[in-house]
Structure 1
Amino acid sequence: MLADLRYALRQLARSPGFTVVAVLTLALGAGTNSLLFSVIHAVLLRPLNYPDPDRIVSIALVPRGKTLVRMDAQATDWAYFEWRDESRSFAELAAYRTTGAFLAEGIAREVVSGAEVTPRFFPLLGFQPVLGRTFTAEEQEPTGPLVMLLSYGLWQKRFGGDPGIVGRSLVTEGTPVTIVGVLPASFDFPSGAKFWRPLRLPMSHGKTWFVSSGVHVVGRLAAGVSITQARTELTGLLPRVRMQPPQLRDAAVDVVSLHERLYGSTRPLLLILLGAVGFVLLIACANVASLLVARAAARQREFAIRAALGAGRLRLVRQLLAESVVLAALGAAAGLLVPVLGLRLFMHAAPFGVLQAVEVHLDAAVLAFTTGVALLTGIAFGVAPAVAASQPQLVEGLKSGGGQTGAPVHRARIRESLVVAELAAALILMMGAGLLARSLLQLLAIDPGFRPDHIVGVSMGRLANSAFLQGHGRSGFYEVLLKRLGALPGVGSVAIADGLPLRGFGSSGAVRVDDDPWVTDGGRDAALSAVSADYFKTLGVAVIAGRDFTAADRLDAPRAAIVNVSFAREFLRGADPVGHQIQLGGATEARWTIVGEVKDIQQIGWDVPAGPQVFVPAPQAGYTPASIAIRTKVDPTGLVETIRRTIQQVDPEQPAARVFTLESELARSAAPRRDNAILLGAFAGVALVLAAVGLAGVIAYLVAHRTHE
């Protein structure tokens, strides 16, 4: 066998053009599969880094029917307490919320992501701090000491890995907090969290007396309990939950593995892409097989001489398979360059943010997969040419001097079948990419309801308890800030709201029109947003009936509201809404008179249809919204840094706000469909190039083969 391999190397070295094309073809086919397998292995196949990860589940409530309530894989705190106290399906149950904090240490000030967790959170996941300890029962109480655990990365970055960090005080949001421990570098849950602090739910006899905005619930299944059994038990306990919002009284209980909750949404697209690169591999193999058939036909005289000298069919097949194995090995080695060079680019272009936090690298499993795929495909697609070439016609072969007027029928059929298969696979991928591109174009054709050009958005987030805020209050801070922003050169108008387009709305709740009966099951809900007088003018939203808000819509003025087209269609069957009165939430008897109607605004995402929405004047809402919209007369990107500096000048103690253009938000909203089309289009392009190379090679062979004719 070694002699066959050495001879195969010499033969391939004598045909460098054929060898380079075949190796590159196999490298592209095996390399693209290796790249995607490395991602799938890291995301879908690799278990979570916790003890017995298959026993850890995520529990959420899923609203039924028509409702604007978006739980985002959460449950209510009341449901969590009921499950924690009464369920027997879990060895541990814990809850957490994602949050953020403004850290001030010396001159370094930044907002970092973190989580608030219940007492059994860390034992459930099987992690202990490398320094210090976790939280005590006293620290979990609403009036307990303020404490915090740091991530390993934050400890290294902000404190230089100081081993004496435990017990040190850190100012967060103007309040000193004691650091009680540092978690291991391998702990990253929730993803991106830099700190953890106790989740403090106001308690009375173990249960809250109000409904929170929601908590994420995780549990470790008890021995012998399946996910189905746990789901059945929790569903049975749900009717006993007190203070449940009306929209969630008949909600479904969703229990899935934590791995599925984190990465399950990526599975469909990854499998589609795996199918795409599978087609690329088939095309590459068919391409190499057609090249081998053509090469075998060109070597017919050589094989005839070998047969005349006594070489049997098995000997000829073994020699040709040795050449296929060498080609496959070279293709596997070259194919490893594809994931090495393309992995970072793929992860950057991947249309799911969850992949950004996944550590993807080439490991033994990926190397074995690449080598196995290349060798198996090289051998499998080398068998047919080898068998065909091992049956030389001695007389015709010995007479052959190069040109012929024809070729054996079976060999011609093999070539034709391979070319047809290549073109069919390439066209399937091109059609898939075309469908995704059409989906993207359909999205881009949707009217977002506002003019995104020349608009800068500012998301302030949670304000630090600064000296300025203590002296002027929240409303005073925003009043000064809006005046300063409005006076900047190049700024046309400034408005404030508690939810900018594409970034969600302030809240939602039941709405009653005139004297209609209250409906509290979520079927008559509307989104609620508080906005300033210039909000619609700033966004370029058309008021299609009635009037816009004005400065006269103060706290002491008659309550006014503006609704969108979807509200008029849903609640008033498309009739003119102006003049109708509404009540919001049912908490008070206050009535708001509808004074105007505006176009639908895509509030959640570009591809999410707008639902009923009610806008009220910010002075009458009883609170100050935290998002700012700025329409500029110049290029908005040139004002981004100026706006950031202005915010810091108003109150230097505030964390850096998120400043962005609404055009960039639109692009971000379209990014998943765009990236899907780009990724599948790239693979389809590779497939088309390979198919074209294969077709060109076969045509060139046929031309050369029929030169004598």
Structure 2
Amino acid sequence: MDSVITEFRQAWRALLRRPAFLLLASATLALGIAACVTVFALVDRVLLRPLPYPQPGQLHAMGLVQQDGWTTITPREYQAVGELQGVAGVGIGSMNTFPVNLAEASHPEMVQAIAVDRGLLDTLAVPMALGRNFSVEEDTPAGPRAVIISHGLWQRRFNGAPDVIGRDLRVEGMATPIVGVLPSSFRYTAPVDIVSPLALPAASRDDGRNFLAIARLADGAVAAELSAQFDGRIKALYAGSGHADAYRQSVFGMRALSGALSSQSRPVLLLFLASALCVLLLAALNLANLMLMRALSRSHVAVVRSALGATNARLALPMLAEGMLVGTLGAVAGLAGAVLGLHVVGSLIPASWFAGVDLALDGTPVAFAMLAGMVGAVLAAMLGVWRGRSSSAPRELVAGGRSGLSRGSGRLSRGLVIAQVAMATVLLVGAGLFTRALLTSTRVDLGFRGEGVAGLEIAPVRAMYPDAAAVKLMGREVVEALQRMPGVQSATMGSNLPIGMPLNYPVQVPGQDMVSVEFRAVDAHFFDTFAIPLLAGRGFDSRDHESGEPVMLVNEAFARAHLGADAVGQEGVLDRSVRMPVGDALRTLRIVGVVGDTRQHGPEHAPPAMVYLPYAQLPDDLVQLLREFMPLRFAVRLSGDVQAQLPAIAAAVASAAPGQPVANLAPVSTLVRASTDGTRMSMLVIGSFASLSLALSVVGLYAVVAVAAAQRRREFGVRSALGSSRGRLFRLVLGDGLRQVATGLSVGLVVAIALSKGLGSLLAGMAAMDPLVWAVVCAVLVIVALAACLVPALRAAATPPATALRSE
């Protein structure tokens, strides 16, 4: 043991006396660990961590299995299924959050809410921070009012007061007692501020597929068997009805709740993790090369010690000690970098990905970092020991001269560099494709003009605007108040803006099947405000009032897809009728105009088929239905700086609708930018990883070429003495380095081509085999390779023959 301590102390003392190698090796490892731990912490928290509920593996979402991984259910299906054998508990709640007003006089605010039955919180076994679940009476129609608030709202509005239970919260203008406070760890499909009782009637006829049902399986129950039982009951429900054919090929079943909640984030996070692992592997390869060079530089000392009787184990101790010190420092520095990286990446990714999840580092990523650092550094040290072992040391000295680089060691170093270049190529191709996708999206015509337009949202307070007539009147008054503002060119209202949250609705062209299309209810100023062109017919005007003939506009995509129109304005497109279900009846509307397409889902997606209805003609029950799920949207086209006029807009709204909370008041251009946030986030993360990998590859290539050139110094002196020109020596060293890059580049391109299909699917239709991206990646790698090889090549070319021969 004393000998081990002595060897370790001497090795560490030698490293600290000349810290350049220690700093370079530790920094190399730290870069890889920081990248990997940052993403691993996200993956661990969002994908790997069990849900914060007792026995989370028993929780399953049940309903119609969608392609995006969600399972949705209707209240009618939920009640018709009844009790399933093997299910210990079941509950239902709204799939998405909806806006709710906290109409406090001093602090009106629009917050996000969900409605759930008492069975859902019982099924989840939510450990309430304060208070209780809803009672049976509160979860019935016309029952006592009650609300449960989130931990965040409790802290924000009540400063975490322990006596909050029993206080009144003015929800939609009505005093509502607070009966419970959710824990900070509560996790649902999106961040939630308040929870209200769903209060389903005993025999609901609601067929809206906007709900999430969660079941807790009993001990020993098998999810596959319950899925088959559930599917059979739903299919029996629809047998003989008009929905039987629509659901004949559909699958109703159960899916683990953890998988359903992470379905949106899983593909991107796994892509990030794969990229981060590549960076970590690159750092390990670079470290292995550095340790190999370190071992070879000490080969003469190892031969002498071996001749004096040192065992192989004793000879390995200095390298092992250096590896452990490098691994420890690299892991600590990597953790510090991960803290910063997690803060940056966490600010970029959507909040819905980690609702109820604390993104701080804890024991798991710390343990991962320490393990990765120690294992990576020790394995790199052992590689150096293996190549510099005493049995082969004489051959190494003969092959390469004193502390020389033998043929075998040279091949190993070059192989490591080739692997680094190959992985850097793959990451650079990925970063290039995401960058190309982002640049392309910025040039796509969205079909409307958002510059110079401000948008805002209002969810009419129910106590102040109880019915559809009051909602319509408020909308008109707000628009008129906005139009009176100085500098306003146009103001409008509608169910949606031209970009952002979609709204689907079923329609039927006579003689065709019912189809789901994008639906918008807007006023007559909507198309002027957003500069959406009228291509045929007329727009909405004063004729389209509540008692006028029901009319609609359609976009060009709808005309092509459902009216057989090869060209807008073709005879027969206008004055066609379209039917829409409203309640239990089909309402017939005449098409009076065709407008241009807008890319509602962002520049990466094709314009959807869309219909527009005059908001004034919306049936009352449809107005009430829309307000259940979304706020009204208003927009103002302004002259001058939009940001500077936002306070004036808020004041105008307050004058027309006093006490009404306003949300998301911002330039529409920010919504356009948000539509590319996913691509931008992927580009930044993968681009950062690609930059790290490129830097590590350059360092590794420079180290190998420089050491190899230094060990061939005598050879270059002899060549120079025999008449070789400086240019020939320069090309000799440069060509050796470029051959390694060419080999690594070829391997990396083959791997990138194999992965291009998956990258293409993540880029929403962008061609993964983009020639410009591939050409730029090749050019970048060649340029940085030239830079890495330039200095060693110039040194070799300038080698004086006499100096080189005298050094031997």
Which residue number in structure 2 is paired with residue 497 of structure 1? 494
Matched, 1:581 2:577: yes
In structure 2, the partner of 1:391 is: 390
Report how far residue 232 of structure 1 moved.
1.0
Query: Match for 2:148: what amino acid?
Result: L
SS in 1 for 2:264: helix
**Displacement of 1:155 after TM fit?**
3.2
* 2:412 aligned partner, one-letter code: I
Q: Which of the numbers 76, 79, 95 marks the counterpart of 1:78?
A: 76
Aligned CA distance change for structure 1 residues 610 and 61 (closer, same or farther; 3 Å): farther
CA distance in structure 2 between the aligned counterparts of 1:272 and 1:590, rounded to whole angstroms: 47
**433, 440, 455: which one pairs with 2:453?**
455
What CA deviation, in whole Å up to 9, does each residue of 1:172-198 have, x standing for no partner? Answer: 212121223334444454653233221
Structure 1 partner of 2:273: 274
Structure 1: distance between partners of 2:645 and 2:253:
45
Q: State the match for 2:614 in structure 1.
A: 617
SS in 2 for 1:120: helix
Normalising by structure 1, we get a TM-score of: 0.90
What percentage of aligned pairs have identical amino acids? 28
Q: 1:177 to 1:245 in 2, by over 3 A?
A: farther
Note closer, same or farther for the CA distance 1:640–1:47 as it changes in structure 2 (3 Å cut): same
Instruction: Provide the C-alpha distance between the structure 1 equivalents of 2:380 and 2:293, rounded to a whole number of angstroms.
Output: 13
TM-superposition CA deviations, 1:529-569 (whole Å, max 9, x none): 22211211211111122222223333344333211112111
CA deviations over 1:373-393 (Å, ceiling 9, x no partner): 111111222222212222378
Which residue in the other structure is 1:629 paired with? 635
Equivalent of 2:441 in 425, 443, 446: 443
Q: Which residue of 2 aligns with 1:528?
A: 519
What secondary structure sits across from 2:319 in the alignment?
helix
Instruction: State the distance in 1 between where 2:70 and 2:663 align.
Output: 24
Query: Per the alignment, in what secondary structure is the counterpart of residue 241 of structure 1?
Result: helix
Amino acid of the structure 2 residue aligned with 1:29: G
- 317-326 or 13-22: bigger deviation: 317-326
Select which of 462, 478, 483 maps to 2:475: 478
**Given residue 208 of structure 1, which amino acid in structure 2 is its aligned partner?**
S
Shift of 1:683: 0.4
Quick check: 1:560–1:616 contact (8 Å CA) kept in 2?
A: yes
Partner of 1:238: 234
Within the alignment, does 1:653 sit opposite 2:659 as a pair?
Answer: yes
Q: Distance in 2 between matches of 1:511 and 1:394?
A: 83
Task: State the match for 1:91 in structure 2.
Answer: 88
Which runs of structure 2 are paired with 1:290-309 in the superposition (5 Å)?
290-309=289-308
1:408 to 406, 409, 421: 406
2:205 alignment counterpart? 209
Deviation at 1:235, TM superposition (A): 0.8
Structure-to-structure mapping, 1:597-612, within 5 angstroms: 597-612=594-609
| Structure 1 residue 308: Cα displacement | 3.3
Give the AA of the match of 1:238: I
Instruction: Give the match's secondary structure for 1:492.
Output: strand
Q: 2:554 aligns with which of 551, 563, 569?
A: 563
1:346 and 1:387 map into 2 onto residues whose CA distance is 40
Report the equivalent of 1:67. none
- Superposed displacement of residue 71, structure 1: 11
CA contact (8 A) 1:565 1:598 kept: yes
Structure 2 letter corresponding to 1:578:
L
Q: Deviations over 1:384-428 (max 9, x none)?
A: 22122223788899999x986963211211221122121111111
Partner of 1:5: 8
- Contact kept in structure 1, 2:149 and 2:180, CA below 8 Å: yes
Structure 1 residue 212: Cα displacement: 4.0
| Whole-Å separation in 2 of the counterparts to 1:47 and 1:588 | 46
1:608-659 Cα deviation digits (max 9, x unpaired): 4333222122222345782222222223222223212221222231112322
Q: What are the within-5 Å matches in structure 2 for residues 667-706 of structure 1?
A: 667-706=673-712
Counterpart residue type for residue 228 of structure 1: A
Q: Is the 8 A contact 1:305 1:398 kept in 2?
A: no
How far does residue 81 in structure 1 lie from its aligned partner after superposition?
Answer: 0.6
CA-based RMSD: 3.0
Letter in 2 for 1:37: F
Q: Alpha-carbon deviations, 1:86-105, whole Å to 9, x = none?
A: 42241111011234432244
Checking the alignment, whether the CA contact within 8 Å between 1:211 and 1:245 is kept in structure 2 is no
Q: Which amino acid aligns with 1:18?
A: F
Shift of the 210–352 alpha-carbon distance from structure 1 to 2, 3 Å rule, reads closer
Paired residues in the alignment total: 692
Preserved CA contact (<8 Å) 1:92 1:120:
yes
Tell me by how many angstroms 1:684 deviates.
0.8
| Partner of residue 669, structure 2 | 663
Please state whether the residue corresponding to 1:386 is helix, strand or coil: helix
Contact 2:64/2:72 (8 A) holds in 1: yes
CA distance 1:350–1:63, change in 2 (3 Å): closer
Residue 259 of structure 1 pairs with residue 262 of structure 2: no
Q: 1:596 aligns with which of 586, 593, 598?
A: 593
For the Cα contact (< 8 Å) 2:285–2:420, is it kept in 1?
yes
**CA–CA separation in structure 1 for the residues paired with 2:563 and 2:135:** 54
For residues 351 and 166 of structure 1, do their structure 2 counterparts lie closer, same or farther at Cα, with a shift above 3 Å needed? closer
Are residues 506 and 99 of structure 1, via their aligned partners in 2, closer, same or farther at CA, if it must alter by over 3 Å?
closer
Q: Quickly say closer, same or farther: Cα 1:590–1:214, change in 2 above 3 A.
A: closer
What amino acid does structure 1 have at the position aligned with 2:224?
T
Structure 1 residues 184 and 299, CA gap change in structure 2 (3 angstroms) = closer
Go from structure 1 to structure 2 and tell me whether the alpha carbon gap of 1:220 and 1:588 turns closer, same or farther (over 3 Å shift). closer
Q: Deviation digits for residues 448-494 of structure 1, max 9, x if unmatched?
A: 2212212222221243423x889992222222211110121221111
Q: Distance in 2 between matches of 1:28 and 1:395?
A: 36
Q: Which residue of 2 aligns with 1:321?
A: 320
Aligned equivalents of 1:278, 1:504: Cα separation in 2:
35
Aligned residue number for residue 44 of structure 1: 47
Q: Distance in 1 between matches of 2:586 and 2:352?
A: 44
Tell me the distance in 2 between the aligned counterparts of 1:434 and 1:615: 39
8 Å CA contact retained: 2:173, 2:461: no
Greater displacement, 473-482 / 44-53: 473-482
Within 5 Å, give how 1:507-518 maps onto structure 2. Answer: 507-512=504-509, 516-517=510-511
Does the Cα contact within 8 Å between 2:226 and 2:253 map onto a contact in 1? no
Amino acid at match of 2:25: A
In 2, Cα distance between the equivalents of 1:282 and 1:128?
42
Equivalent residues of 1:502, 1:603 under 8 A apart? yes
Letter of the 1:538 counterpart = T
Which consecutive unaligned segments of at least 5 residues does structure 1 have? Answer: 65-69
Tell me if structure 2 keeps the 8 A contact 1:404–1:706: no
Give the Cα separation in 1 of the matches to 2:104 and 2:527.
Answer: 40
Q: Does residue 640 of structure 1 match 2:646?
A: yes
SS in 1 for 2:675: helix
| 1:48 match: secondary structure | coil
Shift of 1:360: 2.1
**Correspondence list, 1:336-355, <5 A:** 336-350=335-349, 353-355=352-354
Is 1:152–1:182's contact at 8 Å kept on the other side of the alignment?
Answer: yes
Counterpart of 2:773 in structure 1 is none
Post-superposition CA distance 1:277-330 (Å, at most 9, x none): 222122212212222222233333322332332324343223322222222222
- Where does 1:182-193 land on structure 2 (aligned, <5 Å)? 182-189=181-188, 191-193=190-192
